[in-house]
Amino acid sequence: MKQINNARAINEALREELQRDESVVVMGEDVGRPGGPFVLTRGLYDEFGEWRLRDTPISETSMVSMAVGAAITGLRPIVDIMFMDFFGLIMDGLYNQAGKTRWMFAGKVKIPMVITTLTGAGLNAGPQHSSSLEAWCCHIPGIKVVLPTTPYETKGLLKASIRDDNPVVFGIHKGLLRMKGDLPEEDYIVPLGKAVVRKEGKDVTVVAIQQMSLKALNVANKLEQEGISVEVIDPLTVSPLDLPAIVESVKKTGRLVIAHEAVKKFGVGAEIATSVMEEAFDYLDAPVVRVAAPYAHVPFTPALEQAYVPQEADILKAIKEVCGKA
């Protein structure tokens, strides 16, 4: 085993897949010789050259459209869209082309492409560089949406995404880039569409995404001292969602809290809550509670941003509420 951070895990995944498959190419702003704005492609240009590491103009619209064409004609492009806030610029390529082409041609055309992007707040990057827009992408049939947390999951899920024959949006939380974790030396993948149970419990299920899953885990460990047993599930892939794993957990605990950093209204949490209500309503002993950001844009001011992003205290309050301990 070796210990590396999420940024290095992404770099390793890209290098290994570029070595494994000559059809894999990476494109984006400054991903070539500069090594990427967050050094995620550092060293790859020197190893694979400009054909495999393509610096593009500052035109997110053309990047994704170019990737769709490249995917249709046999390449496996990885497109880096620096921040998820820029997805408004790529929506035609993502929604009308990447999401629909395989369906329109009855599966005869494959679209093996990955869009990597940074998501999440917490670094005072302001309202135009801090959004969590995964719900936009989840609403598009044909698009897979992956939100990893630990370096092990990041590397394994990115490799699985690159090998998938469908378009994948791969959201990397910028606040987790320097998070370290253990990785095996040998090749491995983490399958898409499978949730991970970060902690088993029997009193309440907490489904938490990315950074929220780590906060939920801290809260769960604290509440163990108070006699409240919390099961923490991180979906990792939010489309397709591992609903069976969540429903199985809720049937065991009878309670559900959902935590994510995106705004509460119309979010992934609403979909999870409704799906559980449809599948396991008779098992619920309390209403489902969501912990999420307010229906507003991310503030730039550090104090306001901290107030905006859900914190451990918010998750703890929600858990105690559903457990009747508030």
Tens-place pLDDT, residues 34-47: 999 899 999 999 99
For residue 173, indicate whether it is catalytic: no
For residue 60, indicate whether it is catalytic: yes
Buried-state track 76-103, b at ≥16 Cβ within 10 A, e below 16: bbbbbbbbbbbbebbbebbbebbbbbbe
Q: Write the class of the CATH domain 2-183.
A: alpha beta
If you ran DSSP here, which 8-state letter would residue 209 be given? -
**Per-residue pLDDT tens digits for 195-238:** 999 999 999 999 999 999 999 999 999 999 999 999 999 999 99
Nearest residue to 14 (alpha-carbon basis) of 145, 155, 147: 155
**Per-residue pLDDT tens digits for 267-323:** 999 999 999 999 999 999 999 999 999 999 999 999 999 999 999 999 999 999 999
User: Topology of domain 196-322, per CATH?
Assistant: Rossmann fold (3.40.50)
What are the extents of the domains in the chain?
A: 2-183, 196-322
100 pLDDT above the threshold of 80: yes
Cβ count within 10 A of residue 157: 25
Nearest residue to 233 (alpha-carbon basis) of 254, 257, 263: 257
How confident is the model at residue 185, as a pLDDT? 93
Q: Of 12, 129, 153, 173, which residue is the catalytic one?
A: 129
Is 2-183's fold the same as 196-322's?
yes
Q: Of 17, 60, 153, 305, which residue is the catalytic one?
A: 60
Q: Is 123 exposed, middle or buried (0-12, 13-18, 19+ CB in 10 A)?
A: middle
pTM of the model: 0.96
